Homo-oligomer: A and B are copies of this chain.
Amino acid sequence: MSTIDRAARLALAHLVEPGSRELGMLVRAVGAPEALVMVLHGHGVTEALAGAVHARLDATLLDARTGSADAWAERVALTLAGEMTERAGRLGARMVTAVDEEWLTALDDLTRVSRDGADALRRDTDPPLCLWLRGPVRLEEALERSVSVVGARAITHYGEFVASELAFGLAERGWAVVSGGALGVDVTAHRGALAAGGVTCAVLACGIDQVYPVSNAAVFERITEEGLLLTEWPPGTRPHKTRFLTRNRVIAAATRGTVMVEAGSRSGARNTLSYARRLERSAMVVPGPITSAMSVGCHVELRTPGTVLVTRVDEIVEEVGRLGELADPIHGDERPEDALDATQARVLDAVAPRAARSAEEIAAIAGVATRAARRTLPVLEQHGFVVSTEAGYRLAPKARS
């Protein structure tokens, strides 16, 4: 790929809020350099897009508007890309676009979501043009086997325990954990994965230089050392409410499935889960007590078709893993009498703990033929369920319950 292509992508990422469907379609249709020419000159694009780009062009770049349209666009691309690269270097960050090897192709699935809806909320569902990264692991390798763990900020002890256990277990089994950078489920999941020595990835809704919330500073620091801090927004960008919603599509698209742990009825995590569903990723939810307001969102989602209830790491891996990574079924304690057939079970039921009964009495009580009782009782005796006495049969001491 040419330098100008990558530079144009970086410039567009800087000039346009992430997720723009109009811009994404344009880039896919004519390529990034030509798309930059078009948005800068307002040719063949909406006034809204051209206007938004111009609102972010600073005076120096506007003054550079001389010569041909292409020449100006190239100058804008190279200038912005240069500035961004220099800034990334200063922050210990790197930028990854679709033309770089480290790109996570799973994110391209977002074009599908972007295509199928025309409502206002889906205007910003296109794949990111550029990701800012900090951390020692390679994006596309780390997230090849990854699961997002999302949920509310205001979690209970239950939610904290669950998020932490699941993230720990996933990391222990070699799955990367992906979440946002918020308090509550997000930070608990990151801590759980880090505690297991695993890879965890925080997807931010602000610049990579922003520490938000401040109380998570220490965790972000550890993630930068052992995992991956990731965002689509250029340095300096503050987190806004609408940006969290836009960001959620990346959490859903970057992973094989999303697990929701504790969420109130208005939780933003429900938005992430709905992206997972639209992306045909696994949408998984942990239930909780119906008496807890922090599980209301979980239960509403579990009543939505296409949602899977999960209670254990095994069940999550069964959903997102390769064929054959099946969860062990839950067994109760096996009991000896489970092996009995229907007649044997009925006959055993009719034997009293202490009072000895004849085979005839036992048959009448059990509702089986006397012959059947006479045939069955010695078998039950042989297996230690009953003992025979002069007066008839009674339960063996260990079979009394």
Which A residues are within 8 Å of any B CB, using their own CB? 16-17, 47-52, 54-56, 120-121, 123-124, 158, 161-162, 238, 240-243, 264-266, 286-291, 295-296, 299-300, 302-303, 308-309, 311-312, 315, 330-333, 341-343, 345-346, 349-350, 360, 363-373
B residues in contact with A315, CB < 8 Å = 303
Q: Do A51 and B371 touch (CB < 8 A)?
A: yes
In the complex with contacts A56-B367, A120-B342, A350-B240, A302-B302 CB distance below 8 A:
yes
- Choose one: B16, B47, B242, B342; the contact of A346 (CB below 8 Å): B242
In the complex, what residue of chain B is closest to A245 when comparing beta carbons?
B345
- What are 7 A-B pairs with beta-carbon distances under 8 A? A48-B343, A54-B370, A120-B341, A265-B332, A266-B332, A287-B288, A290-B312
Query: Nearest Cβ distance between residue A43 and chain B, in whole angstroms?
Result: 16
A296 to B350, CA, bound (A): 31
- Which 4 A-B residue pairings sit nearest by Cβ, starting from the closest? A51-B369, A17-B367, A287-B287, A240-B349
Q: Do B290 and A349 touch (CB < 8 A)?
A: no
Q: Do A265 and B51 touch (CB < 8 A)?
A: no
A162 to B365, CA, bound (A): 37
A345 to B245, CA, bound (A): 11
A286 to B303, CA, bound (A): 11
Q: Do A309 and B287 touch (CB < 8 A)?
A: yes
Q: Do A290 and B162 touch (CB < 8 A)?
A: yes
In the complex, what residue of chain B is closest to A19 when comparing beta carbons?
B367
Query: Nearest Cβ distance between residue A349 and chain B, in whole angstroms?
Result: 3
A266 to B335, CA, bound (A): 11
In the complex, what residue of chain B is closest to A308 when comparing beta carbons?
B303
Q: Do A330 and B48 touch (CB < 8 A)?
A: no
A350 to B233, CA, bound (A): 14
Q: Do A55 and B289 touch (CB < 8 A)?
A: no
In the complex with contacts A158-B291, A265-B330, A291-B158, A51-B303 CB distance below 8 A:
no
B residues in contact with A349, CB < 8 Å = 240-243
B residues in contact with A363, CB < 8 Å = 51-52, 55
B residues in contact with A288, CB < 8 Å = 287-290
A314 to B371, CA, bound (A): 53
Q: Do A332 and B290 touch (CB < 8 A)?
A: no
